[in-house]
Amino acid sequence: MASSLALHFAATATTARTAVAHFHSTSSSKFRKFSTKIRCVAWDPEGILGAPQGGHISRLEFKKRFEKDSDAREAFERQVREEKERRRALRESRAVPDTAAGLVDYFLDTEARELEFEIARLRPRLNEEFFSHLRLELGKLRFAVSKTQDMEDRVIELEALQKALQEGTEAYDKLQTDLVIARKSLTKIFSSEDVKATLLDMVETNELNRSLLTLLDENIANAHVANQKEAADYMEKIRSAVLKYITV
């Protein structure tokens, strides 16, 4: 069991979620005009799992239906495959610009649900050079002597993008650090002969946190998709125990 779970964990622990920008269209004449709202969610660069769903009871009800209804399971798996393929095709069709100016427009043209993935993929490009260019363009537009409506719209776009990318990169960097610890913690739990004692030790060392829960949720979801019921049930029990210690 431990070996199987460890292998499954290694294959699925690469995806994490975090805070991202949520864009809303505000003008039919300006396709990219939007406002931004930062939400605190789990990091999901692939964007397959969608928005986070709260409620432990709702999750358990879905699990029961998922196990009993083969048609629902097949439809869910097909939907996941189709969405993943759509995203893959979209990503492959886009060419990433070489310049900071081009990268700004690239992000402005990015679908809201794809922004998480693009921040993760292009994190090395989101450096001081990029943000300096963004600030410079904003400064020129704000202090321009004569302003057009297009210039005003551009300022709104760039301000929203700047906020989204700054908060997104900060959250991404923090998640990477947290996930390193979470992976080690989850490996420790999977390889333990006395899970309860291990969890108690981890409470003392403050190793049980939301990042560990996120990682467990990823593994549980993938176990259900792969029809690994025994592994999913085992991880559900671990998750319940971890949640209990976190909320005490």
**DSSP assignment, residue 51?**
S
Separation CA 7–CA 61 (nearest Å): 28
Taken as a whole, the chain contains a residue count of 248
Q: Which pTM does this prediction carry?
A: 0.57
pLDDT reported for residue 143: 94
In the chain, where do the E strands start and end?
20-25, 34-39
Q: Which two tokens stand for residue 187?
A: 């490996």
pLDDT reported for residue 66: 65
130 burial (CB, 10 Å; 0-12 / 13-18 / 19+) is buried
In the chain, which residues have pLDDT < 70? 1-57, 59, 62-68, 247-248
pLDDT reported for residue 75: 83
